[in-house]
Structure 1
Amino acid sequence: MEEKDILGTWKEYTLTNNQNMSVSILNYGGIITKIIVPDQNGKKENVVLGYKHYQDYEANPNYFGALIGRVAGRIQGATFTLNGESYSLEKNNGENHQHGGSDGFHQVIWEGQTFQTEDTVGLHLKHRSRDGEGGYPGNLDVMVTYTLTSANQLVINYTAKTDKTTPIALTNHSYFNLSGNLKETVKNHHVAIDSSQFMELDEHLIPTGTLIDVEGTPFDFRAGRILGTGFNHHFGQNKIAGNGYDHYFIFDETKENKVVLKDPTSGRVLVVKTDQPGMVMYTSNGLEEGLRLREADSSKHLGVCFETQGPPASLHHERFPTIVLNAGEVYERRTEFAFGVEE
């Protein structure tokens, strides 16, 4: 366990296990700045996108590694209605609200506390989002716990309570690239997803309320496929997302492993398990070129995000799993990212 001061009030915590894996996290935005894991030859390298200079996280328009809330994703028209009352949010994505707005959880200093057990090391992060903050109702007390196990699992536990009914959909926005130190894009990464349906998007990347069956489309990852097959595909939904993926996949709940990501060159494997109903897979289609990242300059399709969360589209389409947390109830969600190599 290492703790160092960054930019005054910022701290970076580095969790290290006995298997040559480490995870570094800022108290600012709960941002994961790097994840170091070995490849098939034991070579340790970073497998997430992060800035070369810490001060660039202050703006962080791409949300590299950040905790997102109160609601991750886009809220149509920056409005929603709860119990007959309408709420207006900041329009920070065209006419829509995205990732909690400019005062979202990715922009706050969290209260950090480390812990250690016989086979884990971790970090508790706490934050109180006050009633009316960002337009959301209720005082919301949030705790996010990052736990690194001796089996190379990074577990993220989310807990929250509110004193007024409010929507909540928390996630982490890490961009994964298993090639190690950003040697290449994720074009040749192989992905399997336990999902037979995804949400159709309109031209503003807002779910229309229609579910599309993945059968016969570049969105069919049930048996696994190469990510790049959807990057320049004629399929309309890939084009809308900027030649790639930025869609919510609903999990079938047929497999314990919701996502399996593999890089054929490094041999690294990432397995995602979660109790969330689905996730947004984003293949950094909108990532601009030339940002100074830790190991290389940024480019399109340099990383893939697995934003496990409840769907904000449920605020406007009742058929989807709800993200509403009632006063007095407890929000509890868990996502596990397990790293290994192909046998």
Structure 2
Amino acid sequence: MPSTTRRTVLTAAAAAGITTATAGAAHASDRRGRTPARELFGRLADGTAVHRWTLSNGGTTLKALSYGGIIQSLETADRHGRTTDVALGFDNLDDYVAKSPYFGGLIGRYGNRIADGRFTLDGATYQLPVNDGPNSLHGGDRGFDKRMWDVEPFTRGADTGLVLTRTSPDGEAGYPGNLAVRVTYTLTPRGAWRIDYEATTDRATVVNLTSHTYFNLAGEGSGTIDGHLLELAAARYTPVGSTLIPTGELAPVARTPFDFRRARSIGPQARTPHEQTVIAQGIDHNYVLDKGITSRPEYALTVTHPESGRVMKMYTTEPGMQLYTGNFLDGTLTGTSGRLYRQGDAFCLEAQHFPDAPNQPSFPSTVLRPGRTYRSTTLHTFSTR
């Protein structure tokens, strides 16, 4: 596994998984196998059609919805070549609308929590919907994961993907400014999944976009994540108060259950008694990535499932990574396999800026102003060992 002290900088070509040889081979191959396919997934109450798009490339198959930009399924192979869906989700639209705890959602305008659903920018105070105790979580009660997106497929060189766009109008969910958002999902010929986020505004606002996929590398519905090993390149994390808002401290992970600088099993760490795991009922914390903010995606973490041999690595331009250990899955949700999801049956790794940054001046800023472009990239690679 990569050392947590080592920085792995990806060139644009390497991050996309393209070399001259692979690109040439892709051009010579039958492109039909990589052409995105669309099918009707369901209809909203007002009759709006929701489509599911299927992308396949390099041994990875991704299925995404026009509703919420949701990753409904993500299939990868184990060491024996057997393909399994490793993302939690539902097999029907109604459950996504009524029950989903952000399964696979495209999160915005602001990923994670904002204290009391309120922030002040340029002397004006903005009130957001409060949907998580006293706080606003993931853009409020109807964030980007509950909005329709325009979707355009593409097959470009050796890549295949989807471009999702929407404009969040001034005042939506209490946020200022008309925010034009463009998110690109790309599958590379090596089976990597890349997410590129872009946004512009006509008025100063705050933005923090991320993806909320629940992973289980043993397979969706297979049970506990105890057999997963996580190595995370972060020596500090942001402790939280009783409502999961960061205290402002950047605390060392050393000698705590939050220390994944060397690979450790995720589940047992989440259950280790500690003031912070008690507050969160597990781990639901932002890690301060050692690399900081970068212009190109750099190494952040490795998750390994030794039994299946699956390995997922993440690279990002973001300074933070939220680790959530499925603490609030309670056995009442039935997944795509027909099995119930229980506490600790999945983990989320959300590349992001820090929670509550609009209210914490010492955190990296999430302010976006007119004339500037918000850009962020996160790359997931899949392999076996």
TM-score by length of 1: 0.97
Partner of 2:300: 258
Partner of 2:70: 31
Residue type of the alignment partner of 1:279: M
Matched residues in 1 for 2:136 and 2:107: separation? Answer: 13
Partner of 2:132: 93
Structure 1 gap ranges (5+) = none
In percent, how many aligned pairs have the same letter?
Answer: 37
Contact 2:192-2:382 within 8 A present in 1 as well: yes
Q: Please list, as runs of the form range in 1=range in 2, the aligned pairs for 1:29-108 lying within 5 A after superposition.
A: 29-108=68-147
- Cα deviation, residue 118, structure 1: 2.8
- Cα deviation, residue 81, structure 1: 0.4
- Cα deviation, residue 102, structure 1: 1.9
Partner of 1:4: 39
Matched residues in 2 for 1:57 and 1:167: separation? Answer: 26
- Cα deviation, residue 60, structure 1: 3.9
2:199 maps to which of 160, 172, 178: 160
Contact 1:123-1:147 within 8 A present in 2 as well: yes
Residue type of the alignment partner of 2:313: V
Structure 2 gap ranges (5+) = 1-35, 44-48
Matched residues in 2 for 1:99 and 1:38: separation? Answer: 31
Matched residues in 2 for 1:203 and 1:61: separation? Answer: 24
- Cα deviation, residue 179, structure 1: 0.3
Q: Which moved more, 1:45-54 or 1:329-338?
A: 45-54
- Cα deviation, residue 159, structure 1: 0.3
Structure with greater helix share of residues:
2
1:280 matches 2:322: yes
- Cα deviation, residue 281, structure 1: 0.7
Partner of 1:182: 221
1:315 matches 2:353: no
Contact 1:312-1:323 within 8 A present in 2 as well: no
Matched residues in 2 for 1:312 and 1:326: separation? Answer: 19
- Cα deviation, residue 336, structure 1: 0.4
Contact 1:209-1:313 within 8 A present in 2 as well: no
Partner of 2:173: 134
Q: Please list, as runs of the form range in 1=range in 2, the aligned pairs for 1:292-311 lying within 5 A after superposition.
A: 292-295=334-337, 296-311=339-354
1:339 matches 2:377: no
Matched residues in 1 for 2:159 and 2:258: separation? Answer: 36
Contact 1:249-1:278 within 8 A present in 2 as well: yes
Q: Which moved more, 1:254-263 or 1:60-69?
A: 254-263
Residue type of the alignment partner of 2:289: F
Q: Which moved more, 1:291-300 or 1:169-178?
A: 291-300
Residue type of the alignment partner of 1:285: N
Q: 1:329 to 1:256 in 2, by over 3 A?
A: closer
2:238 maps to which of 178, 184, 199: 199
Matched residues in 2 for 1:321 and 1:116: separation? Answer: 35
1:325 maps to which of 368, 374, 377: 368
Matched residues in 2 for 1:181 and 1:267: separation? Answer: 16
Matched residues in 2 for 1:44 and 1:203: separation? Answer: 41
CA deviation map 1:284-315 (0-9, x unaligned): 10112131101121111111111101113221
Matched residues in 1 for 2:143 and 2:356: separation? Answer: 18
CA deviation map 1:194-219 (0-9, x unaligned): 10010011111111111210111111
TM-score by length of 2: 0.86
1:271 maps to which of 298, 313, 321: 313
- Local SS of the residue matching 2:247: strand
- Cα deviation, residue 318, structure 1: 1.1
2:285 maps to which of 209, 233, 247: 247
Matched residues in 1 for 2:316 and 2:253: separation? Answer: 21
Contact 2:59-2:190 within 8 A present in 1 as well: no
Structure 1 stretches of 4+ with a deviation exceeding 6 A read none
Partner of 1:237: 276
CA deviation map 1:161-184 (0-9, x unaligned): 000010000000000100024322
Contact 1:52-1:292 within 8 A present in 2 as well: no
Contact 2:134-2:243 within 8 A present in 1 as well: no
1:149 matches 2:188: yes
Matched residues in 2 for 1:153 and 1:320: separation? Answer: 30
Contact 2:42-2:92 within 8 A present in 1 as well: no
- Local SS of the residue matching 1:332: strand
- Cα deviation, residue 257, structure 1: 2.0
Matched residues in 2 for 1:68 and 1:111: separation? Answer: 16
CA deviation map 1:104-150 (0-9, x unaligned): 10111100000002311100000100001110000000001000011
Residue type of the alignment partner of 1:264: P
- Cα deviation, residue 232, structure 1: 2.0
